[in-house]
Structure 1
Amino acid sequence: MASFSLHGIPVSRGIAIGRAHILAPAALDVKHYLIAEEHVEAEVRRLQLALAAVHRELQTLWNELPKDAPTELGAFIDVHALILSDPMISEAPLEIIRSRHYNAEWALLTQIDELSAQFDEIEDPYLRERKADIQQVAERVLKVLMGSEPLLPKQGELEGDEFLAQMIVVAHDISPADMLKFRDRSFIGFVTDVGGQNSHTAIVARSLDIPAAVGMSQASTLIQQDDWVIIDGDAGVVIVTPSAQVLEQYRERQLAALRVRKKLGKLKKTPAITKDGTQIQLMANIELPEDCEHAMESGANGVGLFRSEFLFMGRGDSMPSEDEQYEQYTRAVLAMKGRPVTIRTLDIGADKPLDQMEHTALNPALGLRAIRYCLAEPQIFLTQLRAILRASVHGKVRILIPMMAHAFEIEQSLAMIKRAKAQLDERGERYDPDVPVGAMIEIPAAALALPMFVKKMDFLSIGTNDLIQYTLAIDRVDYEVAHLYNPLHPAILQLIAMTIAAGHKAGIEVAVCGEMAGDAKLTRLLLGMGLREFSMHPSQLLSVKQEILNSDLSLIKPQMRKIMRAMDPDTIADAVIALQAL
């Protein structure tokens, strides 16, 4: 097959080289992981047992058919039994387990997807509709499999296996919750047809610290299963079936990047202080408590953003209980060993819906999301607030409220926190009565009405991802308008500078926890604006720290007036590049 390249949107830096593993949408509904070589035959046996169980189930259905039952019912059971016995179902998935090391559920779905695609091409409508029978049989087998005990490979168990360094996920789209299913598995890159630079799927890819490219349009249909693929995460380019020469060039670039990373690793214990002696706080953004280990290894001063919504995702119709949330928040607090942990209250909606949310809003990004959702569901909000407050006895905890824009939202949020404290008092539960409460500044209305925030809140955190989205009227998930998403638009810089200045004047801390904070090319710009607290993915922290260590505010500040007065983004971009040379 001839080599070709696809151009999309870079979302996570680095280079990945491996074989493509195409994920159909249905494959994301079940667990998918690799089986270690020594456990392959056990996994084959698990699928064989499931197939046999469904055979018995169909036989029982046949035996229990009433005498007056329509003959069609027996015929349907016969058809399903024949499908189940066909080698395309009974044997092909077993070979997928042996050859690709897929778990049983994934292997079955992979085969069903291939069969379904073949049926779609059949012209005869009756035969084409038999696809539904195949899918129904597969669902029966999956139900049995999901009730059996899977043999999950442990993290690191597959080290040395040839598959470990080869798997690149290619899909039409991957939700943030599904992205988290890949944690500690053997995937080293992601390619999706849709998505934008700052969609939450892209953000999670960066938090996993693996190369990714989104907005590839037809990648999931053009790339074939097991194709060799190169992801150039810096350029947003995917090269399919590369030549040996191109492959070698990219391997050399991988090694060079690894050397740079090792060099940065020496900065872990170095305080983030500019050349002129200004201390900077570098915090970590996390999705789950286990991310704290990476944050600590990167030398983070604390957690500036704990995206608590990931504890709520992928759970079907259930919500995490107060005790479950308390345990998760406590894990994070204890893991940070006395460093502050800023927990953002539930921020769902837009591209982060819960499973039970109905997608009825014409524009979810402008609908019932974040604090709007929490105030509309007070019991869910109170449960989370009680859990956070209870965790505060174990260390430094801060509560961060997202997407506030109105005075009544501030008042009602503070009233809910007060009510949660009263409920804990009634139960005799301990908590820190002085837990700081902050607001995310991510709606232009909030940035333009800062006095009402600085009077009531203990700190501010600028969410640049949404601030850019709402200011520029760009859906950050829509790859068709992704080129218009520009953090250096003069309106964005004005809103950020205003927020930092208002916080300093009021004597309260201001952080940036959006993606701009982790972009080392923008570090000196934010320093010049007066930012003293950055919060980012742990994987970005050391490169930002290196930039801080090489910065001199006495040289940067004189250039800021020119940048803040500029109206042309290209002029601003050139000026920001010039800052790098100071």
Structure 2
Amino acid sequence: MMLALSGTGIGRGIAIGYALVLDKSQNEVPQFQIDADRIDQEVSRFNEAIATVRRELKHLQSNLPPTAPPETGAFIDVHLLMLDDPLISSHPGKSIQNEKINAEWALKNHADTLVAFFDNISDPYLRTKKDDVAQVVGRIMDVLTEDKERRSDISTLGHTLTDRIIVARDLSPADTVMLRHRHMTAFVTSLGGPISHTAILARSLGLPAIVGLHGVIDTICDGDQLIVDASTGTVLVAPDEGLLDQFQALQEQQRKQRRALAKLGKEKAVTLDDEEITLLANIELPEDLDALHGSGAAGIGLYRTEFLFMNRAQPPEEEEQYQAYCQVVKSVRGPVTIRTLDLGADKQVDGGRDEPKAAITPALGLRAIRLCLSEPSLFKPQLRAILRAAVHGDAQMMIPMLSSLQELEQSLSLVREVCAELEREGIAFNPNVPIGGMIEVPAAAIAADLFAQKLDFFSIGTNDLIQYTLAIDRVDDSVNYLYDPLHPSVLRLVRTIIQAGNEADIPVSMCGEMAGDPVFTRLLLGLGLRHFSMEPSQLLEIRQQVRHSRLAELPGWAERILACTDGSTLHGLVDQLNAEECA
């Protein structure tokens, strides 16, 4: 009997194949007391497990297949950084000694604290880093429990996985790349989210995937024929002949589209009526720059700096930040927009507290610019580093989560103060760095005309703007169905921001997920957006959509869509807009 299972689709591809089921279960973590004379032995066992996993990750990094996306190495670096976090690498050893408990239980207790930290981060992208924690801890647990079957699931698979769809509880970025190298057709997992590192890699690899299936994944058996439709987030189990024929035809159509896309190369993003659109890339580590090769990105529209501050006891010194920013600024032709710190008050994951601080709605708490203004000693070194790095290229500074003009005035005052300090100290810096604001709070969107008088540019952060406007958390499975970028309130706020920027004659870009989704490209162009920033893997598809659009005809479509009050009709209009041959 055919089954239809729903999860979160990654990409828009279709895959047809047979299920290869890896371990889908989450083994229970053993808990027991250790005799006093075995404590040193247990600590040694834990330390050796950490060392083993570190060797495994470095081996993976050194032996990535040539077809691996450039960002793969950076994602493994993130796992290595997490492996160095005291909550994972050293605090469990202390718990073994002090509480006389086994290594597995000690690791679980501290890993739970780390997961809780990420759960309390409001930024949905950063919050998904708890998946990376789970993957790293899972590797350590497999070593500690000597679970050879679980550890060999992937390493002992055949050399070719053609026509096989991997079904698993979770996949790490490294696992995903290695399985793809063996020609895995697609994957479906119980865990995971749309903006995890594994999801980003799947998009880069052009690999259809469905994540977040949860318990229903247990209905899939080894050898079941599956259809994976990433565009709808649907897995069809045991489809009939009619459905197979239908999806095979869709597959062939997508192959033709991909071949056409590959020919774009570094063609300019120019509309059919000859207006050039600026396409930029989002990055979070200097190592991500490798992914820009061949993408045609005109610069960096969002450089997330949070990873410099995470997995460490103390925030980075000014010099460390300066070197990191310089590496990016010197390597990129075009503007580099450096976003100042966007973390909450529990930013230092140093294991200094036994229990994570409870956050009553962390998205609305002390985070981003609020935290930076409350702790100038944290903020000023970053400002100094950015101003100094701007000597070496086209750097811009972007302030996140602005909600009031007072916050902006305080921020600009601190920048002036830092400039005066650098001047007195005789340190080279650029006093004319453009300063922009990330418009992601409805209050800032509504008052965008006031912010535009004091800022050099806007960047619309649609991920948070949609969440705050609709009062939902897209990472929460129980309400994420309400996450709708086409909600009339969201579209009106986007238009308000763009109009305010245009009237003040300042550039307006968009760096949220909407910018990298071709479903929204023509609508956004019709609303007046001319600068898009996205993950590097999305640039070619957006460029193609721009090149197939006639700009002069899009504002009329945008007005029709904005005037629509019925949700299904509105979505239908967007489908019609995208179906137009040249729009």
TM-score in same-fold range (> 0.5): yes
Residues 154-193 of structure 1, C-alpha deviations (whole Å, 9 max, x = no match): xxxx9x9558998968447x9xxxx7x6499525577554
Secondary structure of 2:573 counterpart: helix
Tell me the C-alpha RMSD between the 2 structures: 4.7
- Correspondence 1:334 to 2:303: no
Partner of 1:7: 6
2:270 alignment counterpart: 273
User: CA 1:79 to 1:333, structure 2 compared with 1: closer, same or farther past 3 Å?
Assistant: closer
Q: Do residues 135 (structure 1) and 139 (structure 2) align?
A: no
Distance 1:15 1:359, change over 3 A: farther
> In 2 relative to 1, CA 433–335 (structure 1 residues): closer, same or farther, beyond 3 Å?
same
Quick check: 2:518–2:542 contact (8 Å CA) kept in 1?
yes
Structure 2 CA distance for aligned equivalents of residues 230 and 326 of structure 1:
49
Residues 578, 227 of structure 1: alpha-carbon distance in 2 compared, 3 angstrom cutoff: closer
Spell out, residue by residue over 1:449-499, the C-alpha distance to the aligned partner (whole angstroms, 9 max, x if none). Answer: 123211110000111111111111111211111111111111111111111
**1:530 positional shift:** 0.9
Q: Which residue of 2 aligns with 1:432?
A: 430
On the 8 A contact 1:20/1:228 being kept in 2, the answer is no
Whole-angstrom CA distance in 2 between matches of 1:495 and 1:513? 15
Question: Are 1:272 and 1:280, in contact at CA under 8 Å, matched by a contact in 2?
Answer: yes
Which residue pairs with 2:342 in the alignment? 347
1:103-138 C-alpha deviation (Å, 9 max, x unpaired): 9xx9xxxxxxxxxxxxxxxxxxxxxxxx96473699
Residues 266, 294 of structure 2: 8 Å contact kept: no
Q: Structure 1: how far apart are the matches of 2:411 and 2:179?
A: 40
For residues 377-433 of structure 1, give each alpha carbon's deviation from its aligned partner in whole angstroms, at most 9, with x where no partner exists.
322222222222222122111111111011111011112222332333344322221
How many angstroms does 1:503 deviate by? 0.7
Aligned match of 2:371 in 364, 370, 373? Answer: 373
- Residues 243-298 of structure 1, C-alpha deviations (whole Å, 9 max, x = no match): 99999998997776455334212223222121222221111112222222322411
Mapped pair 1:469 → 2:467: yes
Measure the CA separation in 2 of the matches of 1:557 and 1:168. Answer: 44
- Cα 1:80–1:387 shift into 2, 3 Å: closer
Is the Cα contact below 8 Å between 1:312 and 1:354 reproduced in 2?
yes
Residue 321 (structure 1) aligned with residue 320 (structure 2): no
| 1:474–1:137 CA distance, 2 compared to 1 (3 A) | closer
Give runs of aligned pairs for residues 405-484 of structure 1, distance below 5 A. 405-484=403-482
**One-letter code of the match for 1:284?**
A
Distance apart, 1:519 and its partner CA: 1.3
**Cα distance change on mapping 1:23 and 1:322 into 2, 3 Å:** farther
Rate the CA distance shift 1:20–1:183 in 2: closer, same or farther, 3 A.
closer
1:523 to 521, 524, 540: 521
- 1:308-342 CA-to-partner distances (Å, cap 9, x unmatched) read 213333x2434333222222222222221x31111
Whole-Å separation in 2 of the counterparts to 1:277 and 1:325: 40
Between 408-417 and 225-234, the greater mean CA deviation after superposition: 225-234
Aligned twin of 1:309: 306
- Quote the offset at 1:22 in angstroms: 5.2
Cα–Cα, structure 1 residues 11 and 193, in superposed 2: closer, same or farther, change >3 Å?
A: same
Q: TM-score, normalised by structure 2?
A: 0.69
Tell me, yes or no, if the aligned pair for 1:511 and 1:533 is still in contact at 8 Å: yes
- Match for 2:9: what amino acid? P
How many residues end up aligned between the 2 structures? 476
Determine helix, strand or coil for the equivalent of 2:343.
Answer: coil
CA distance in 2, matches of 1:287, 1:525: 28
Tell me the residue number matched to 2:149. Answer: none
Classify the secondary structure of the residue corresponding to 1:282. Answer: strand
In 2, are the aligned partners of 1:342 and 1:400 still within 8 Å (CA)?
Answer: yes
Quote the Cα distance in structure 2 between the aligned partners of 1:395 and 1:485. 38
Q: 2:214 aligns with which of 205, 212, 217?
A: 217
Alpha-carbon separation, structure 2, partners of 1:377 and 1:200: 30
Shift of 1:550: 1.6
Structure 1 residues 62-211: aligned runs within 5 Å: 73-74=36-37, 133=102, 135=104, 162=160, 170-171=168-169, 182=174, 185-186=177-178, 188=180, 193=190, 206=203, 211=208
Tell me the distance in 1 between the aligned counterparts of 2:102 and 2:539. Answer: 52
Which amino acid is the alignment partner of residue 271 of structure 1?
K
CA contact (8 A) 2:403 2:441 kept: yes
Q: What one-letter code is carried by the residue in structure 2 that aligns with 1:213?
A: I
TM-score if structure 1 supplies the norm length?
Answer: 0.69
Aligned with residue 566 of structure 1, among 561, 564, 567: 564
Counterparts of 1:221 and 1:184 in 2: how far apart (Å)? Answer: 20
Listed one character per residue, the Cα deviations across residues 128-149 of structure 1 (whole Å, up to 9, x for unaligned) are xxx964736999x979x99xxx
Tell me, in whole angstroms, the C-alpha distance in 2 between the residues paired with 1:246 and 1:420: 64
* Whole-Å separation in 2 of the counterparts to 1:354 and 1:72: 34
Report if the CA contact (8 A) 1:9-1:214 is conserved.
yes
Q: Given the superposition, is the C-alpha separation of residues 418 and 496 from structure 1 closer, same or farther in structure 2, using an over 3 Å criterion? A: same
- The answer (yes or no) to whether the contact 1:167–1:186 under 8 Å persists in 2 is no
Residue identity opposite 1:309 in structure 2: E
CA offset digits 1:174-227 (Å, max 9, x no partner): 9xxxx7x64995255775546665689866865786544333232676679999
1:512 to 500, 510, 528: 510
CA contact (8 A) 1:164 1:187 kept: no
Distance 1:553 1:466 in 2: 28
Q: Which has the larger radius of gyration?
A: 1
8 Å contact from structure 1 (residues 3, 241) kept in 2: yes
Give distance in 2, aligned partners of 1:163 and 1:440. Answer: 44
Kept in 2, the 8 Å contact 1:284–1:302? The answer is: yes
- Of residues 302-311 and 397-406 in structure 1, the stretch that sits farther from structure 2 once superposed is 302-311
Pairing of 1:21-40 with structure 2 (within 5 A): none
Aligned match for 2:492, one of 491, 494, 501: 494
User: How many Å separate the matches in 2 of 1:200 and 1:72?
Assistant: 41
Give yes or no for the alignment of 1:284 onto 2:278.
no
Unpaired segments of 5 or more residues in structure 1? 28-70, 107-130, 147-157
**Counterpart AA for 1:233:** A
Which residue identity lines up with residue 502 of structure 1 in the other structure? A
| Aligned partners of 1:403 and 1:441 also within 8 Å | yes
Query: Which amino acid in structure 2 is aligned with residue 306 of structure 1?
Result: Y
Larger mean Cα displacement after TM superposition, 224-233 or 292-301: 224-233
Separation of aligned partners in 1, 2:162 and 2:374: 45
Q: What SS does the aligned partner of 1:461 have?
A: strand
